[in-house]
Structure 1
């Protein structure tokens, strides 16, 4: 039930069957909430002539259908998806208004009841923002004409190699209103797409463009688009290997409205580029230059100085729209001497309360990421605590240190965190000098809004600190404690008994003190309303046995009792849990219909029996790691017949007989989306395993220590795999040194 309250109208309670005045709902669970009055304000009822003296009084108009469509649209935008669907099923009049709102920003399921093409053909005219679950296969050329009202498109979820210049050009031609285009991971995109976009008559309205990992885009394409779309506010050029400094020079020159620049792992970012960006992009508030080794302390200081000069000039002469500070700063993995007290304080200067004026934009510091920072001292944290308290929502100090006073580093971090209670995402991975039980207690007592926490490799932590976090941070969704070797059952039990009901991801890998007792108790999370882990990582917990999974099996319903599994587990990692056998795993996996990734590396008690059950009952499986297990052709054939979505298969160094040519051929023939295949030390396979017709999507092949594999067989396989990037033939005695060089040339030549 959804409650809508207006200052001008009586309260309406929307039920599945329609709407009623609030007076008729009392005693039936209806509620009138004062804090919902904002809905009426947002809808601006006065614009529709609905005043206190309006002739459209609620005592005469008892249904929503009598309200003007414009007002209904405003009201429906305040509803969640479930409520909106309920409204759409009440009557045709409400459906006509609800459907466009419902489909304006649709959530596409991974397995829609009908094809995506049919969905878009039917409702595409209403869609304003569209993204796809990963991986999605869709014919963009055929659906583009139905998306004429599209404003934002995200193609990052489309399957690899399915989005090229032709597909994007079709969208550009059919969607004249586009303001945001996300082409991340569309590695077939070239400059041709950017040239076509630059020629589009409405390109001046383009505000957001992501080209992350578009490997074939060059400086020429970037120059063309930024000249035409000089109104760009967000640009992402992460991992675009063909870009040079020239491309970002064009960005600095043409994009004076740029607010967000993301250029991770890019050789194009240098001190000179930062200087030009500071001068040419005065509105920049978010800067992400992770892994950009060309950035030094000098460059950051120059960038900060130019921005400060522009700010002073704006204050003095009243210049429009100059950013006063950064809201996001990511310097993870930059040059080791780039992140210092001097550079950080310059980039995040003290807040001057005397500065005033609407021309200066002062966003709050929302995100700060300084992974691997080795040259900062307590001075930086004192400065940030004084000037930016109660602002951060995301902090990354993984593998960072406080260099001046290591003995008090934990206290310094604790003092800083105590004035940042709104942090929702905290990464302290490997920060062994900053994190101890005392700082964990501050986290548990202060960061009550925390959603994701990474304390992996903090080996000095004990159960005392993490139990405090489990009890205090009751909104946690993702917890990573991998490598915290001193943690044991008390920590896991705390997350089960006192922790967040929203917990979905838990990683206690290499916590060897964790036993069957606490892991089994995790099953009780699935008995809570909406509860249950989606990801469970137990790698290296070598004390676990089949008893750890027994409680999961006891809670699971029989396949006949319900079509929906009780446990929505999508990733299960049991690597190194060598006491786990078929006795538990083969009985558990029939209930894991949502499973996408499973790892039972080095579990020698797991055999073909488990693999066949997984293949039969886990239709969404994408990644399977079964190296060092007892798997034969029987298991491989089951994979080839049923695991059509599989993209990663590790099956090297298997115990026993291992697979023959027929088993490998079955996998290659049935798993059309396979990208990585490891069949190292499968001594029975030969060139015949790689024969067959048809092209394959394999990008990485590992055939180490396979004595019967020769150059001839692998050369033929290379021809079948146009996207092949790596072939590992270490220890293949049937291939000479000269042939190894020839094979390397065959693979590298296409790239």
Structure 2
């Protein structure tokens, strides 16, 4: 009945909180919190997850947090992000608690004390006092937090299951306290925690070894094989391990492999490891599903052969800058790991056509393939993938000079489930290969063809006739002009993202068609397209009211008037990248927060 608030009259707080808890997205919850003060209060009570920045007196913010979000279980704090200071809100003096008043006095002197702008041990102490049932906590680059704050948190938040300390300069005492108090800890990230040594790490492993399932260590110069031996001895349930260190050798990885038989994910960037480490993994880690090897110059095909022989459940393999791996190593993986679904070969210059052929022949379940900077792989290898990998859904290629239209035709005809195709600087691929994709891959929704000089309008016309794209990037394809983009606009009404930068032939006609036929467009990149003018831009934004991002630097036909048109016509705009001199004072006043400049001096 009009004029009566039936919801607030009849629904109790408990039921409202339950309703808010079932809302699917954060935007839905935010919208509900704006209805009235009661809904704001109840929606806050129902929130279990919160992500905030950590600048402008974060200690004060953490003192106020528990009273507003009492059901919080997951908190992510990132010092790279800023948060608004709550102090300017008008609060009567008699309602302020002594604690908050004291913090307000401290925050007012932030200019004289730069440390007050960063999260400190006092903030962590307040967090532990107010949210003792916290389960997941991320402290990203909170460099002022020390062992004292972490010890206080550990003694109060004993239910912690996940802790991310990336970039925090904590010491051994804080880590040992986590091991002693947080017996349910399952996930721990220690990337760039430079203050830690083997002593604190060993204490941690002793305390939480039974529950620990995921561990990440990177750039911790004082963590050595001793710590990894502690992991192997005590963390028997470990499933995920990511190591990036110059100070860990075979001995540490051997201990982990022999002690952690449930290991499913292993990511290694340790330059001192050799084939012996991979042999140990292959001999003991039979549950391994993901293996990523980065920048190894001491691994050879012997190590990959051990993985192929032992890790029969391997599904994802990433090889980046492993210079001494060759076709023989990839053949061993193909022969032994029949369940492989994801393969990335990046900068491994000794892997060529024969290795990829073996993948195509043996790995029938492959769904994603990335070939980056693989100069020795030719058409025959990709043809075999097209023939054997019928379930392939994503293909990425960068700087593969030996792959051309013949291989693309084979992929198109054999991999009818292809949904994503990303190609960059593969100069032998032209219209013929992309036309075949348009004719046969009707499920394709994501296409990126960057700086492929032989791809032109004919290819885009075929794509528009056979595929309903949501994402398209044809940056630097100089043969693409109005005809191809017009065909895409008319054939792909679901288009959300479009990059048509560095296209000298593209003009206003294409912009008009996009504006007429692609109302869902959210992001567009027009930079270095000199034929586009204010007129085309006006046609584009006329119906594309959902546009959120527009890049248009070095577009000589676009003036201050065109920039103003974008800002005034797009209510959802969040970012406009443009030269500084093309932004009028009126536009700056109206939408200064969404304007970004390529170079402030232009």
Is TM-score (shorter-chain normalized) higher than 0.5?
yes
1:633 aligns with 2:508: yes
1:716 Cα offset (Å): 5.2
Matches within 5 A, 1:71-220: 139=31, 141=33, 205-209=133-137
Deviations 1:63-118 (A, max 9, x none): xxxxxxxxxxxxxxxxxxxxxxxxxxxxxxxxxxxxxxxxxxxxxxxxxxxxxxxx
SS of the residue corresponding to residue 397 of structure 1 reads strand
TM, length-normalised to structure 1: 0.59
The corresponding residue for 1:390 is: 286
1:697 Cα offset (Å): 5.2
The corresponding residue for 1:413 is: 304
The corresponding residue for 1:512 is: 401
1:204 Cα offset (Å): 5.0
8 Å Cα contact 1:184-1:212 kept in structure 2: yes
Q: 1:620 to 1:628 in 2, by over 3 A?
A: closer
Query: Distance between the aligned counterparts of 1:607 and 1:137, measured in 2?
Result: 43
1:446 Cα offset (Å): 0.3
The corresponding residue for 1:7 is: none
- The answer for unaligned runs of 5 or more in structure 2 is 1-14, 53-60, 87-122
Q: Which has the higher helix share?
A: 2
Query: Distance between the aligned counterparts of 2:361 and 2:344, measured in 1?
Result: 16
Q: 1:340 aligns with which of 240, 243, 249?
A: 249
The corresponding residue for 2:266 is: 368
Q: 2:472 aligns with which of 588, 598, 614?
A: 598
Deviations 1:256-295 (A, max 9, x none): 431211354x4576437646644654446345436x43x1
The corresponding residue for 2:591 is: 720
Query: Distance between the aligned counterparts of 1:651 and 1:505, measured in 2?
Result: 26
SS of the residue corresponding to residue 521 of structure 1 reads helix
The corresponding residue for 1:682 is: 555
Deviations 1:686-736 (A, max 9, x none): 333333666875457354xxxxx6286489549724366x63228x6xx4x
- The answer for unaligned runs of 5 or more in structure 1 is 1-121, 157-164, 312-321, 352-361, 404-408, 556-565, 704-708, 736-751
The corresponding residue for 2:170 is: 245
Query: Distance between the aligned counterparts of 1:197 and 1:625, measured in 2?
Result: 48
Query: Distance between the aligned counterparts of 1:651 and 1:463, measured in 2?
Result: 37
1:381 aligns with 2:278: yes
**What is the Cα-based RMSD across aligned positions, in Å?**
4.7
Deviations 1:620-641 (A, max 9, x none): 4234243234222333455456
1:659 aligns with 2:554: no
Query: Distance between the aligned counterparts of 2:541 and 2:124, measured in 1?
Result: 36
SS of the residue corresponding to residue 450 of structure 2 reads coil
SS of the residue corresponding to residue 372 of structure 2 reads coil
Query: Distance between the aligned counterparts of 1:186 and 1:374, measured in 2?
Result: 30
SS of the residue corresponding to residue 464 of structure 1 reads helix
Deviations 1:309-363 (A, max 9, x none): xx6xxxxxxxxxx63463321024x4xx2232244345x1744xxxxxxxxxx66
1:469 Cα offset (Å): 0.9
8 Å Cα contact 1:590-1:618 kept in structure 2: no
1:503 Cα offset (Å): 1.4
The corresponding residue for 1:570 is: 445
Q: 1:625 to 1:217 in 2, by over 3 A?
A: farther
1:305 Cα offset (Å): 5.9
Q: 1:711 to 1:520 in 2, by over 3 A?
A: closer
The corresponding residue for 1:101 is: none
Q: Which has the higher strand share?
A: 2
More RCO (CA 8 Å, sep 6+):
2
8 Å Cα contact 1:191-1:217 kept in structure 2: no
Q: 1:170 to 1:328 in 2, by over 3 A?
A: same
Q: 1:303 to 1:460 in 2, by over 3 A?
A: closer
1:432 aligns with 2:432: no
Deviations 1:116-175 (A, max 9, x none): xxxxxx999699888659x9996363799999998986999xxxxxxxx99x9899859x
The corresponding residue for 1:28 is: none
Query: Distance between the aligned counterparts of 2:231 and 2:575, measured in 1?
Result: 45
Query: Distance between the aligned counterparts of 1:432 and 1:674, measured in 2?
Result: 42
SS of the residue corresponding to residue 681 of structure 1 reads coil
1:396 Cα offset (Å): 0.8
Query: Distance between the aligned counterparts of 1:130 and 1:270, measured in 2?
Result: 41
The corresponding residue for 1:423 is: 314
The corresponding residue for 1:706 is: none
8 Å Cα contact 2:501-2:528 kept in structure 1: no
Query: Distance between the aligned counterparts of 1:635 and 1:149, measured in 2?
Result: 50
SS of the residue corresponding to residue 343 of structure 2 reads strand
1:646 Cα offset (Å): 4.7
Deviations 1:587-641 (A, max 9, x none): 4225433x33222122222122333343452424234243234222333455456
SS of the residue corresponding to residue 532 of structure 2 reads coil
Q: 1:450 aligns with which of 340, 350, 356?
A: 340
The corresponding residue for 2:242 is: 330
The corresponding residue for 2:456 is: 581
Q: 1:307 to 1:596 in 2, by over 3 A?
A: same
The corresponding residue for 1:547 is: 432
1:580 Cα offset (Å): 1.9
Query: Distance between the aligned counterparts of 1:592 and 1:218, measured in 2?
Result: 52
Query: Distance between the aligned counterparts of 1:623 and 1:217, measured in 2?
Result: 42
SS of the residue corresponding to residue 285 of structure 1 reads coil
8 Å Cα contact 2:304-2:333 kept in structure 1: no
SS of the residue corresponding to residue 289 of structure 1 reads strand
